[in-house]
Amino acid sequence: MSQTHALQLTGISKSFDGFKALSDADFTACWGEVHALLGENGAGKSSLMNIAAGLYAPETGTLLIDDNVVQLHGPKDASRHRIGMVHQHFKLVKPFTVAQNILLGLTEKPGEGSYRKRLRALEQEIASKAAELGFALDPTRIVDNLSVAEQQRVEILKVLLAGARILILDEPTAVLTDDEAERLLTTVQAFARQGAAVILVTHKMADVKRYADRVTVMRGGRTVQTLDPHSVSVERLVQLTVGDSAPAPERQHSTPGEVRLQVHDLRSAAGNGPLNGVNLTLRAGQIYGIAGVGGNGQAELANALMGLPQPTEGEIHLQAFGDLRTATAEQRRQLRIASIPADRYGAALAASLSVAENFGVGNLHSGRYGSFWRLRYALMAQDAQQAVTDFDVQGVRSLDQKAALLSGGNAQKLVIAREFSRDPQLVLVHSPSRGLDVRASLAVHGRLRAARDAGAAVLVISEDLDEVLALSDRIGVMNGGRIVAEFDHPADRQAIGKAMVSHD
Distance CA 22, CA 420 (A): 32
DSSP bridge partners of 30: 5
Tens digit of each residue's pLDDT (9 = 90 or more) over 436-455? 777 778 888 999 999 999 99
Task: Tell me the backbone φ, ψ of residue 399, rounded to 5 degrees.
Answer: -65, -15
126 and 206 share one domain? yes
Q: Are residues 353 and 269 in the same domain?
A: no
73 domain-assigned: yes
Distance CA 217, CA 238 (A): 10
Distance (Å, rounded) from C-alpha 301 to C-alpha 267?
9
Please tell me whether residues 257 and 386 are part of one structural domain: no
Q: Are residues 9 and 127 in the same domain?
A: yes
Q: What angle in degrees, to the nearest 10, is found between the helix axes of 438-453 and 234-242?
A: 90
30 and 157 housed in the same domain: yes
Tens of pLDDT, residues 302-311: 999 998 877 8
Note the pLDDT of residue 245.
Answer: 40
Q: Is the domain of 311 the same as that of 368? A: no
CA-nearest of 174, 177, 173 to 189 is 173
Task: Kindly report each contact of residues 225-228 with a partner whose C-beta sits within 8 Å and lies 24 or more positions away, as own/partner.
Answer: 226/28
Give the domain range for residue 413. 348-421
Helix (H) / strand (E) element for 68: namely: strand 68-69
Angle at 345 between CA 71 and CA 469, to 5 degrees: 110
CB within 8 Å of 128: residues ≥ 6 apart? none
Q: Is the pLDDT of residue 253 over 90?
A: no
Structural contact between residues 395 and 368, judged by C-beta atoms closer than 8 angstroms? no
Does residue 116 surpass a pLDDT of 90? Answer: no
- Classify residue 18 by its DSSP letter: T
What are the E-state strand segments in 143-285? 166-170, 197-201, 214-219, 222-227, 259-268, 276-283
Phi, psi of 59 (to 5 degrees): -80, -35
Where does a domain end: 242, 264, 281? 242
Share of the chain above pLDDT 70, in %: 91
Cis peptide before 490 (omega within 30 of 0): yes
Q: What pLDDT score was predicted for residue 426?
A: 96
Is a pLDDT exceeding 50 seen at residue 247? no
- What confidence score (pLDDT) does residue 234 get? 81
Residue 494 parent element (H or E): helix 493-501
Q: pLDDT: is 204 or 376 the higher one?
A: 376
More confident residue, 438 or 189: 189
Is residue 160 located within the same domain as residue 205?
A: yes
Does 341 reside within a domain? no
Please give the C-alpha separations between residue 258 and each of 155, 284, 286, 423, in angstroms, as whole numbers.
Answer: 43, 6, 10, 18
Give the HSE-up count for residue 45: Cα atoms under 13 Å, Cβ half-sphere. Answer: 34
Tell me which of 403, 421, 439 is where a domain ends.
421
Q: Which pTM value belongs to this model? A: 0.59
- Tell me if 343 is assigned to some domain: no
Q: Are residues 220 and 253 in the same domain?
A: no
Q: Rounded to 5 degrees, what angle do the CA atoms 384, 389, 393 make?
A: 85
> Could you tell me if 236 and 364 lie in one domain?
no
pLDDT band at 1 (very low <50, low <70, confident <90, very high): very low
- Indicate the average pLDDT of the chain: 86
Instruction: Report which listed range, 17-21, 201-205, 298-302, is most confident.
Output: 298-302
Count of structural domains, the chain: 3
- Give residue 243's pLDDT: 60
What is the spatial distance between Cα 478 and Cα 296, in angstroms, rounded to a whole number? 7
pLDDT of residue 250: 54
Mean pLDDT, residues 115-134 taken together: 86
| 63-72, 211-220, 314-323, 495-504: range with lowest mean pLDDT | 495-504
- Tell whether 287 and 176 lie within a shared domain: no
Residue 464: count of CB within 10 angstroms of its CB: 22
Please check whether residue 379 is in contact with residue 397, taking contact to mean a CB–CB distance below 8 angstroms. Answer: no
Mean pLDDT score, 199-219: 89
At 2 the pLDDT is 47
Q: How confident is the model at residue 246 (pLDDT cuts 50, 70, 90)?
A: very low
Domain boundary among 369, 398, 421: 421
Instruction: Count Cβ atoms below 10 Å from residue 144 Cβ, excluding itself.
Output: 11
Q: Are residues 309 and 414 in the same domain?
A: no
174 and 42 in a common domain: yes
Please write the tens of the pLDDT for every residue from 79-94: 999 999 998 778 899 9
**The domain spanning residue 137 has which CATH number?**
3.40.50.300
pLDDT single digits (tens) 20-54: 889 999 999 999 999 999 887 678 888 999 999 99
* Half-sphere exposure for 384 (CA within 13 Å, toward CB): 26
Whether 342 is in a domain gets the answer: no
Cα–Cα distance between 170 and 184 in angstroms, integer? 13
CB atoms within 10 A of CB 444: 24
